[in-house]
Chains A and B, each alone.
Chain A
Amino acid sequence: MAEHVLSVDDLRRILSEAAGADDEATGLDADALDTTFEDLGYDSLALMETASRIEREYAIKLDESVLADAETPRALLVLINEQLSARVA
């Protein structure tokens, strides 16, 4: 709880808990970080579930625009971490 940074590893784990993982490519490697969620096979419900888990775990309420704006894992990390650091500040 109350972590202040969402790391790539955290996001990978939460995505997997939320929407499941394929046997092979469970990792968010450098390429995947900049691949759209759609191309990675995560649909809107998978992202809703992911956001819900992040909210619970990090005790934040994500802005509604986050899911619409973040098309890739890297963009999602940036938006969430901006919100987390804004809260700390």
Chain B
Amino acid sequence: MSTATVVTGIGVAAPNGLGADDFWAATCVGRNGIGRLTRFDPAGYPAVLAGEVPGFVAGDHLSGRMLPQTDHMTRLALVVGDWALADAGVVPAEPPSFDMGVITASSAGGYEFGERELRNMWRKGGQYVSAYQSFAWFYAVNSGQLSIRNGMRGPSGVLISDQAGSLDAIGQARRQIRKGTRLVLSGAVDSSLCSWGWVAHLASDRLSTSDDPDRAYLPFDPGAAGHVAGEGGALLILEDAGSARERGARIYGEIAGYGASFDPRPGSGRPPALARAITLALADAGMAATDVDVVFADAAAVPELDRIEADAITEVFGPRGVAVTAPKTMTGRLSAGAAALDVATALLSIRDSVIPPTTNVTLAPEYELDLVTGTPRPSPVRAAVVLARGHGGFNSAVVVRAAGCALGPLSPHWTLEKGTTDHG
């Protein structure tokens, strides 16, 4: 018997909003968080725009002891984790530590930290490299630091599959909850907006070289010419539904299904596998395509990849068969953080019955998509599919649905109740 996995807490750091409330308010009015890079001088690089998280001063949130040992993305993750726990009404010291795990995703580790220490090594010598380099730039560092900070010693790890990573992390977290872990902090907060990281982003050949924040990232638009890279993401509190119910937690929704596939080798002649990830996730959720109200697209903004995604959505849901949106047009692609942020956005869409828009985009006529552009679309949202693709062939899909659909014969008021402080 598998238990349902529900989301009871959301923490967000995004280029268009710090904190879930700011982010959601910005996203519903289409506020763009893309601008010229400020973390280093991008002059001389082909791409100069990025989505940077605004207004984050690490020292306002973290003790001085944390700063020498943390990269920027880890600082963001620790604070976002605090917010997610607070939002869920979970005091991390209270539940047994082995009942709580941390499963995040990362695309590059603590790149900015690594760049600085490698620079120290080459310019000054090995004795100038921080001892904290021994872990601060690792892929797993956010999971490790979140685990230490919050005393979470249950099943933990990190998933590395580029932009698909945070869906894979959420899928893995759900697996652990089904095996008996009560709570998992999952999702991803990512950042590699340093000059070394920038070279890696450029090597993908998928960065937009536009310098106009409103014209740089245009998925499914005739002008699509690459994406803007960004930083941030979301961390979610995933809980066993029974346990969440027991403590009277507020439920945002259920992680109802997960599916992943891998694209065939280029030149093999076999079709891309994205549609299969979607159908696997729907089957896992026990749902039909017609049960889905909105798809949050991966939105590569590379014409060939947009074509593959549009075809996959059309194959599963039919031509213009489901609303599609890409709010990441306001933030850029956040590497591993992107899909977790889309899952958070989907849950807020369910809560507020509104689909946030894909900004700046005019749908190219060749795509048979019902793309929500320009302004938000008021609409009941009972279930959403979030798609993400990682460089090299990763495809992942998560089905999120309203809690009431999932949890069976409960008090009709239960899902709306605010969490109490009685942790039983």
Cα A85 to Cα B349 with chains together (Å)? 69
Task: Name the segment of A1-9, A49-57, A68-76 touching the other chain.
Answer: A49-57
Assuming the contacts A56-B127, A56-B128, asked whether A49 and B64 have C-beta atoms less than 8 A apart, the reply is no
Q: Are B134 and A21 in contact (CB under 8 A)?
A: no
Residues of B at under 8 Å CB distance from A? 63-69, 127-128, 130-132, 134
State how many angstroms separate the Cβ of B95 from the closest Cβ of chain A: 24
Assuming the contacts A45-B69, A49-B68, asked whether A22 and B131 have C-beta atoms less than 8 A apart, the reply is no
State how many angstroms separate the Cβ of A23 from the closest Cβ of chain B: 6
Q: Which residue of the partner chain, among B66, B127, B128, B131, contacts A20 with CB atoms under 8 Å?
A: B66
Q: How large is the interface on A (under 10, 10 to 19, 20 to 34, 35 or more residues)?
A: 10 to 19
- Chain A's closest residue to B66 (CB) is A20
Cα A38 to Cα B31 with chains together (Å)? 47
Q: Give the interface centre of B67, B128, B130, B131 by most chain A CB atoms within 10 Å.
A: B131
Chain B proximity mask over A46-89: 1 for CB below 8 Å, otherwise 0: 10110010011000000000000000000000000000000000
Assuming the contacts A18-B68, A45-B132, A49-B132, asked whether A23 and B127 have C-beta atoms less than 8 A apart, the reply is no
Q: Which residue of the partner chain, among A19, A23, A26, A48, contacts B68 with CB atoms under 8 Å?
A: A19
State how many angstroms separate the Cβ of A49 from the closest Cβ of chain B: 4
State how many angstroms separate the Cβ of A24 from the closest Cβ of chain B: 10
Q: Are B132 and A22 in contact (CB under 8 A)?
A: no
Q: Which residue of the partner chain, among B63, B69, B128, contacts A22 with CB atoms under 8 Å?
A: B63
Q: Are B68 and A22 in contact (CB under 8 A)?
A: no
**Interface residues of chain B: helix, strand, loop or mixed (majority):** helix
- Contact residues in A for B63 (Cβ distance below 8 Å): 20, 22-23
Q: Are A49 and B67 in contact (CB under 8 A)?
A: no
Q: Which residue of the partner chain, among B64, B67, B128, B134, contacts A45 with CB atoms under 8 Å?
A: B134
Q: Which of A1-47 contact B (CB under 8 A)?
A: 16-23, 26, 41, 45-46
Cα A55 to Cα B128 with chains together (Å)? 10
**5 tightest Cβ-Cβ pairs between the two chains A and B:** A49-B131, A48-B131, A20-B64, A20-B65, A21-B64
- Chain A's closest residue to B135 (CB) is A45
- Contact residues in B for A41 (Cβ distance below 8 Å): 65
Q: Give the interface centre of A18, A19, A46, A48 by most chain B CB atoms within 10 Å.
A: A19
- Chain A's closest residue to B134 (CB) is A45
- Chain A's closest residue to B132 (CB) is A45
Cα A23 to Cα B63 with chains together (Å)? 7
Residues of A at under 8 Å CB distance from B? 16-23, 26, 41, 45-46, 48-49, 52, 55-56
- Contact residues in A for B132 (Cβ distance below 8 Å): 45, 49
State how many angstroms separate the Cβ of B278 from the closest Cβ of chain A: 44
- Contact residues in A for B128 (Cβ distance below 8 Å): 56
- Chain B's closest residue to A23 (CB) is B64
CB-defined A-B contacts under 8 Å, sample of 12: A17-B68, A18-B131, A20-B63, A20-B64, A22-B65, A23-B63, A45-B131, A45-B132, A48-B131, A49-B132, A52-B131, A56-B127
Cα A52 to Cα B66 with chains together (Å)? 19
Cα A8 to Cα B63 with chains together (Å)? 23
- Chain B's closest residue to A17 (CB) is B68
Cα A2 to Cα B208 with chains together (Å)? 52
Cα A52 to Cα B132 with chains together (Å)? 12
State how many angstroms separate the Cβ of B128 from the closest Cβ of chain A: 7
Assuming the contacts A45-B132, A45-B134, asked whether A52 and B65 have C-beta atoms less than 8 A apart, the reply is no
Q: Which residue of the partner chain, among A19, A49, A55, contacts B65 with CB atoms under 8 Å?
A: A19
Cα A23 to Cα B67 with chains together (Å)? 12
Cα A26 to Cα B64 with chains together (Å)? 10
Cα A19 to Cα B64 with chains together (Å)? 8
Q: Are A52 and B127 in contact (CB under 8 A)?
A: yes
Q: Are B127 and A55 in contact (CB under 8 A)?
A: yes
- Contact residues in B for A48 (Cβ distance below 8 Å): 131
State how many angstroms separate the Cβ of A37 from the closest Cβ of chain B: 13
- Contact residues in B for A45 (Cβ distance below 8 Å): 69, 131-132, 134
Cα A16 to Cα B68 with chains together (Å)? 9
Cα A75 to Cα B213 with chains together (Å)? 58
Q: Are B134 and A20 in contact (CB under 8 A)?
A: no
- Chain A's closest residue to B136 (CB) is A45
State how many angstroms separate the Cβ of A46 from the closest Cβ of chain B: 8
